[in-house]
């Protein structure tokens, strides 16, 4: 005979020694508090009360009755007691804990699978993006856009080359000479420029061609024979170039007005960039510098170039090659005939350096553009092994503040857009010539006008107002010709 609920409760209270407590709900709360005190979580568990147990007993009796009616044997009836109830509660709790544990494990498993799938999708997207870039590079047939100076294109050729061998490029670019510019460079950028919303859309890089006699691109008696500003629109990738004439009279630092290429001699890229920022209202914080040895190695890596030369040029080329042998120890073969010749790297570089013929520096710039154009044509037709040779040999001859990721980014931008051959600085309409401190200098007459023109060309700022520093420098520069 089944005991009544009251009788079961009384026996439970006696065996658990709960004293004179007769309220089961109070007992249940005590038990649950005890469980929490032992660090066990009952969150999500259903409350256990005598009603649950009585239901369980009734279900058991109904099952026994059904078994009897079917004529099957039934186990001898035993009166349930408090031990049965406690066993029931423990069994229920174990079942609940097992269910919660299984649910948690299943949830964690699903989370792991979801993260794994997302990672696989991300890897697949990156892989497809790289393949897409490689296919674009392989199929692209770009028009030739000769730049006014071999320096920029040489750097761009080197950086862009790696897009065809993306992963290997990273390791090769580690051989580039890294340069960390000082934080004080920020002081050369005016507050007006820092707050300019239009200029924030562009990534500006200074490019220096250094006439290095000792192989050191950063110090010594080196002057930057070539100074260029490379401005890239961060969204569209459009790239513009401006050459700053090396004989331009500017403040190279501390109120010292002289040829601007002297800034590199006195303070390396740090002072040269600061000179550009303060005189031209720019925000340059990155640079790349290269010596003429890099051009020699790049041309040799792609098998040389074919070029028509005059008898006068042939004589000067042999003289320059003799000088380069003394300066850097490069072996050479003399050019013995005029006309169409297949030139090695050192022969073509000597051709680029010729300046003492009709046309002087203007003719030299033309020669550099010719060599550059031929080099670019050879590079576009070259296979991956030629590219690897070029990068491996030339990368150590570059000094830059750019990391490998930024160099790859620059290379990809170059491949996606045409190069714009912008006018030089100062503009020919606003320049004069004068002797300053015994040197023949290019005078950017009315510096403010030249800076306004520069910002219009590079950043599309038609109504740009130069900073106070530019206004003050204008008055000093003009005083040399007035």
* Domain boundaries, position 391: 150-294+382-478
Report if residue 70 sits inside a domain: yes
DSSP code for 424: -
Is the residue at 35 inside a domain?
yes
| 140 in any annotated domain | no
With 70 as the cut, is the pLDDT of residue 215 above it?
no
Q: How confident is the model at residue 365 (pLDDT cuts 50, 70, 90)?
A: low
Backbone angles phi, psi at 288, to 5 degrees: -140, 140
**Together in a domain, 93 and 155:** no
- Determine, yes or no, domain membership for 155: yes
pLDDT-based confidence at residue 308 (cuts at 50, 70, 90): very high
Q: Identify the CATH number of the domain in which residue 451 sits.
A: 3.30.420.590
pLDDT at 30 over 70: no
What integer is the mean pLDDT of 40-62? 56
Checking if the pLDDT of 180 tops 70, the result is yes
- Could you tell me which residue, 106 or 382, shows the higher pLDDT? 106
Q: Is 285 left (phi over 0), alpha (psi -120 to 50) or beta?
A: alpha
Residues 61 and 185 in one domain: no
Q: Does some domain include residue 132?
A: no
Is 307 within 8 Å of 371 (Cβ atoms)?
Answer: yes
pLDDT at 19 over 50: no
Looking at the structure, do residues 90 and 171 belong to the same domain, yes or no? no
Q: Cα separation of 272 and 366, whole Å? A: 25
pLDDT at 339: 92
Question: Do 284 and 420 fall within a single domain?
Answer: yes
pLDDT at 171: 61
Kindly tell me the burial class for residue 409, based on how many C-beta atoms sit within 10 Å of its own C-beta (0-12, 13-18, 19 or more). middle
The label of the residue with tokens 């997302």 reads: 118
Q: Name the domain count of the chain.
A: 2
pLDDT on residue 359? 60
Both structure tokens of 100: 């919660």
Residue finishing a domain among 59, 76, 98: 98
pLDDT at 345 over 80: yes
Neighbour tally for 474: CB within 10 Å: 20
**Residue 327 within any structural domain of the chain:** no
Is a pLDDT exceeding 60 seen at residue 332? yes
* Domain match, 270 and 412 both: yes
Asked whether the predicted pLDDT for residue 100 surpasses 80, the reply is yes
Per-residue confidence (pLDDT) for residue 255, from 0 to 100: 93
Q: pTM (2 decimals)?
A: 0.59
Q: Report whether pLDDT(458) > 60.
A: yes
């Amino acid at each position: 005979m089944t005991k009544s609920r009251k009788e079961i409760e009384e026996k439970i209270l006696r065996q658990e020694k709960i004293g004179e407590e007769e309220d089961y709900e109070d007992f249940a709360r005590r038990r649950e508090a005890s469980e929490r005190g032992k660090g066990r979580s009952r969150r999500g568990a259903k409350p256990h009360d005598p009603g649950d147990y009585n239901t369980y007993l009734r279900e058991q009796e109904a099952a026994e009755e059904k078994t009897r009616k079917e004529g099957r044997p039934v186990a001898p009836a035993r009166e349930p007691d408090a031990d049965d109830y406690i066993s029931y509660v423990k069994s229920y709790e174990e079942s609940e804990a097992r269910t919660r544990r299984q649910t948690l494990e299943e949830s964690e498993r699903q989370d792991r699978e979801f993260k794994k799938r997302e990672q696989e999708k991300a890897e697949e997207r990156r892989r497809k993006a790289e393949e897409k870039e490689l296919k674009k590079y392989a199929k692209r047939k770009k028009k030739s856009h000769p730049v006014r100076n071999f320096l920029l294109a040489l750097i761009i050729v080197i950086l862009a080359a790696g897009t065809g061998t993306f992963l290997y490029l990273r390791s090769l670019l580690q051989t580039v000479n890294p340069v960390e510019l000082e934080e004080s460079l920020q002081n050369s950028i005016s507050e007006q420029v820092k707050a300019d919303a239009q200029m924030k859309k562009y990534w500006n890089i200074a490019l220096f061609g250094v006439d290095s006699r000792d192989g050191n691109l950063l110090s010594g008696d080196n002057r930057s024979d070539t100074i260029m500003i490379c401005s890239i629109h961060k969204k569209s990738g459009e790239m513009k170039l401006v050459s700053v004439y090396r004989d331009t009279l500017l403040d190279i630092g501390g109120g010292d007005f002289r040829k601007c290429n002297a800034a590199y001699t006195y303070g390396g890229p740090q002072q040269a960039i600061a000179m550009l920022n303060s005189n031209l209202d720019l925000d340059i914080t990155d640079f790349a510098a290269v010596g003429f040895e890099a051009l020699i190695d790049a041309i040799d890596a792609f098998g040389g170039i074919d070029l028509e030369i005059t008898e006068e040029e042939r004589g000067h080329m042999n003289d320059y090659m003799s000088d380069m042998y003394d300066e850097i120890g490069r072996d050479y073969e003399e050019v013995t005939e005029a006309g169409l010749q297949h030139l090695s790297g050192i022969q073509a570089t000597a051709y680029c350096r010729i300046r003492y013929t009709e046309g002087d520096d203007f003719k030299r710039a033309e020669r550099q553009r010719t060599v550059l154009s031929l080099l670019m044509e050879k590079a576009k037709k070259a296979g991956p092994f030629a590219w690897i040779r070029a990068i491996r040999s030339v990368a150590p001859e570059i000094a830059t503040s750019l990391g490998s990721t930024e160099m790859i980014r620059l290379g990809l931008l170059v491949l996606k857009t045409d190069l714009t051959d912008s006018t030089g600085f100062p503009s020919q309409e606003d320049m004069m010539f004068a002797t300053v401190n015994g040197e023949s200098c290019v005078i950017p007459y009315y510096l403010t006008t030249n800076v306004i023109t520069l910002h219009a060309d590079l950043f599309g700022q038609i109504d740009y107002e130069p900073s106070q520093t530019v206004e003050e420098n204008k008055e000093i520069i003009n005083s040399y010709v007035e």
